Amino acid sequence: FCRDQNLNAHTSSAQEWLSQLNDKSLGLISGFHIIEHMRFQDLFEMIAQSYRVLAPNGLLILETPNPENLLVGSHTFYHDHTHRNPITPTSLTFLLNYHGFIDLELIRLNPYPTKDRLPNENALSERINGHFYGPQDYGIVARKL
């Protein structure tokens, strides 16, 4: 479809595509709902290649399902049979820091509608609402030094 629209499109894995690019040649790399489909070795390589090809102060933006939400981590994540593993914000933060990324901003996204939440406003209901009806996805914005 993209080629039919005269767009420069390629079919490749993220890490393969990035490995073909020059050092410090991009200002931004984004990947929305791709990392949960990768083997750990491929995710590790994709992050390493991203760091290599980003220019100084370049940004890497990743978004993935949020397993902190128990409904996502135990149920809805598995609706897509190509998903491999949920990736926690803690583990992704560690990987990005390991590869040299700085100024990480974690953004929790897409909570369940308010109508689905427990109505009482107390500490217990807030905790349950957070674990079951909180953000279904999260994103991380990371900067290359």
Confidence of residue 7 (pLDDT cuts 50, 70, 90): very high
Q: Given this model, what pLDDT does residue 120 score?
A: 79
- Written as six digits, the tokens of 8 are 């420069």
Instruction: State pTM to two decimals.
Output: 0.92
CA proximity to 40, closest of 20, 69, 15, 62: 15
Contacts of 21 (CB under 8 A, 6+ apart): 49, 53
Q: Given this model, what pLDDT does residue 121 score?
A: 82
H helices, E strands: number in the chain: 5, 4
Q: How far apart are CA 22 and CA 2, in angstroms?
A: 24
